[in-house]
């Protein structure tokens, strides 16, 4: 599903795009701002991420925080059996407080 979105076979707008990542809205949001940071290259989970990509992910997270200016935000990653979609993605959840359950 994410591969088709990245190739734009499934309609959608990217909030941001870098050399290795795209960012788009989650279709089932769990927060007022719920974006997915997705690797363009198909990787199943964190076990495939190198230091260069981690720095790029960090940069995107900071740019999203600056762009949307949420009062609070959370970054979530699921790996292995915790993943609903077996493609590396990071959830950016904005406008959340410390009392929020995930």
Q: Which residues are catalytic?
A: 89
Q: How much of the chain is helix, strand and coil, in % rounded to 5?
A: 30, 25, 45
Closest-CA residue to 10 (of 31, 97, 22): 22
**Which position has the token pair 């981690």?**
54
Distance CA 72, CA 94 (A): 6
């Amino acid at each position: 599903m994410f591969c088709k979105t990245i190739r734009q076979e499934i309609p959608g707008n990217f909030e941001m795009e870098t050399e290795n990542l795209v960012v788009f809205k989650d279709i089932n949001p769990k927060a007022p701002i719920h974006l997915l940071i997705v690797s363009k290259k198909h990787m199943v989970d964190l076990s495939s991420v190198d230091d260069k990509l981690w720095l790029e992910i960090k940069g995107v997270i900071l740019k999203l925080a600056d762009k949307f200016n949420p009062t609070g935000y959370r970054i979530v990653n699921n790996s292995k059996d915790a993943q609903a979609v077996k493609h590396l993605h990071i959830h950016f959840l904005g406008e959340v407080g410390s009392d929020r359950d995930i």
